[in-house]
Amino acid sequence: MGTIGVAREYNAYIVNGLTGQVIAALPWSRISWSRLANDVSAASLTVPAADGGIECTGAFGGLRAWTQLLAIERNGAIVWDGPIIGWSRPASKQGGVGDVTIRALDRFAITMKRLLAVDMLGVVTPSALWYLLDGANLDDPSGMPYIYNVPISSAFFDSVSSPIAVTYEVERLERIYDIVQNFVSKSLIDYTQVGATLWPDETERRTLLGGRGARPVLNESNVIGIPGVEVDAMSLATVAYGGAASGGKSGAQVISTQYPMLGLYTDAILHVGEQFPDVATVEPATITYGAGWSRSTDGYTAALAASTAVPTVTIEQVRLAPNFGCPTLESDLSNLMPGQRVDVDFQDTAAFNYPYVGISYEYRYWYHAIAASDVYDWMKTPVSSDTISVLRLERIDVNVTASEDGIDEEFLASFTPTAEWDGTVPDYWEDTPYDTAYGEP
């Protein structure tokens, strides 16, 4: 079985970003590195004064931001690298004794240094990330401080299931990073950066360690200490159900282990507080849809965002034991990354014995009305479960300390709940695509 194992050795290097040549090996007393979903991860390294501190960098002419990378090696394999973005030495009056701390970000940080043209227009689909990176020439080494490999467009998760072609327009110069984060907030993009590889497809990452029965199981036997679980129901939104006659009720939570959307009021499910006109007079072509949607013969059904259906549950800073893993986990940890699913089996009914409702991309049947043909594609699909039994890995944080007694590694992971699709969709969630037959919202 592949496990994360014990950290026997850590090494750190300064690397030329364009050639990959190792410039220098660094002594260290503390190292930290991370992997994040939908954001830029960070790493840092401290060189103690006893090992040269800030003066150790003088041997190779000093540090250079962006053109030099910090590479971190664990048990002989590089587990993290990215451009150096700064360093610091505390002043003597602050207790500084000559230590130097070097800070770095992963390679996706280059999106913080590239701008999108003012007149850029585009269609917001999951593949919009590719258009942004390609348009910024991030794969052109002539203008880059380090090598960055943009996957070919076909590697980016794209689906005709995106119900709406949302056009975006940039009215001023904006960083690529800011636009990407805006897409992330709308659940239009899901990515993670691991070394030189960008993983833009959550559906691919989620199964790198296998499916149910093969992937890791998080339980008391493979963690150090009992993890903290935060359940926050304060943001749990109420919803209003509007029927064809604008009847219905408000103030009721949608928590159903069968269907995220109830079939009693079939014409609409709307968030309380949203400014919609009378649902009896609204034409489908005038509605701005949310996380997902479908049309029915007597109206429309707007999908309820997952965050309004259940409390926010986070399982953060779980310290993984060396035996955490599964048979498919690579020894270099190259396939352990955010977006993957693990099973959870803690004897904690207060935290996990709670229904979960959400939206997930699943490969399922779709009837294409115009082509009058069957389509199988990845589409936003309601998922639910009676209890929280599946988790999505959101981030990894590793802290390493060197001492006379050896290396102490704290391997931390953070998770959020998710659910497996049971192969069904709720009533009134039609497999009818959005196309020109309906006009554009």
CA distances from 312 to 133, 174, 240, 273 (A): 32, 31, 20, 20
Contact 329, 196 (CB under 8 A): no
pLDDT at 21 (0 to 100): 94
Q: Are residues 146 and 271 in the same domain?
A: no
Q: Are residues 128 and 180 in the same domain?
A: yes
Of 76, 106, 136, which residue sits at a domain end? 106
Give mean pLDDT, residues 344-350.
80
Q: Is position 30 within any domain?
A: yes
Q: Are residues 215 and 330 in the same domain?
A: yes
Give mean pLDDT, residues 38-56.
83
Task: Note the pLDDT tens digit of each residue in 179-212.
Answer: 888 778 766 788 999 999 999 988 889 989 988 8
Highest mean pLDDT among 157-171, 212-226, 303-317: 212-226
pLDDT at 381 (0 to 100): 72
Q: Are residues 7 and 127 in the same domain?
A: no
Q: Is position 79 within any domain?
A: yes
Q: Are residues 279 and 299 in the same domain?
A: yes
Contact 48, 29 (CB under 8 A): yes
DSSP β-bridge partners for residue 217:
343
Q: Are residues 292 and 350 in the same domain?
A: no
User: How many CA within 13 A on the CB side of residue 232?
Assistant: 9
Contact 241, 269 (CB under 8 A): yes
Task: Note the pLDDT tens digit of each residue in 116-168.
Answer: 765 555 445 556 788 788 878 888 888 899 999 888 877 777 544 443 444 45
pLDDT at 96 (0 to 100): 60
Q: Rounding to the nearest 10 degrees, give the CA dihedral for residues 228, 230, 231, 233.
A: 170
Q: Are residues 323 and 414 in the same domain?
A: yes
Which of 301, 271, 251 lies closest to 426, judged by CA? 301
Which of 97, 119, 101, 122 lies closest to 170, judged by CA? 119
As a residue count, the chain comes to 441
Q: Are residues 263 and 160 in the same domain?
A: no
Exposure string over 138-166, b if 16+ CB within 10 A, otherwise e: beeeeebbbebebbeeeebbbbebbbeeb
Give mean pLDDT, residues 392-401.
96
- Residue 341 identity: R
Residue-number span of the structural domain to which 302 is assigned: 239-308
Q: Rounding to the nearest 10 degrees, give the CA dihedral for residues 280, 286, 290, 295.
A: 60
Higher-pLDDT residue of 56, 435: 56
Q: Is position 423 within any domain?
A: no
Highest mean pLDDT among 145-154, 177-186, 295-304, 359-368: 145-154
E strands in 243-372: 250-252, 268-271, 293-296, 299-302, 312-319, 325-326, 341-344, 356-368
Q: Is position 429 within any domain?
A: no
pLDDT at 226 (0 to 100): 83
Q: What is the spatial distance between Cα 357 and Cα 378, in angstroms, rounded to a whole number? A: 19
Mean pLDDT of the chain: 74
For the record, the structure tokens of 264 come out as: 């009693």
Q: Is position 437 within any domain?
A: no
Q: Are residues 96 and 128 in the same domain?
A: no
For residue 394, give the 3-state DSSP assignment.
strand
CA distances from 178 to 34, 39, 147 (A): 21, 11, 22
Of 106, 132, 160, which residue sits at a domain end? 106
Is the dihedral angle over the CA atoms 181, 182, 186, 191 positive or is it negative?
negative
How many other C-beta atoms are found inside a 10 Å radius of the C-beta of residue 64? 16
Highest mean pLDDT among 137-141, 364-368, 427-431: 137-141
Higher-pLDDT residue of 95, 323: 323
Q: How many domains does the chain have?
A: 4
Give the whole-number percent of the chain exceeding pLDDT 90: 35
Q: Are residues 315 and 395 in the same domain?
A: yes
Residues 6+ apart with CB under 8 A from 382: 259, 260, 261, 292, 303, 357, 358, 359, 360, 425, 426, 429
Banded model confidence at residue 247, pLDDT cuts 50, 70, 90 = very low
How many other C-beta atoms are found inside a 10 Å radius of the C-beta of residue 172? 7
Of 308, 339, 356, which residue sits at a domain end? 308
Q: Are residues 326 and 297 in the same domain?
A: no
The full DSSP string for 211-256 is STTTS-EESGGGBSSPPEEEEE-TTPPPEEEE-TTS---EEE----
Lowest-pLDDT range, 138-142, 156-160, 222-226, 429-433? 429-433
Q: Are residues 124 and 247 in the same domain?
A: no
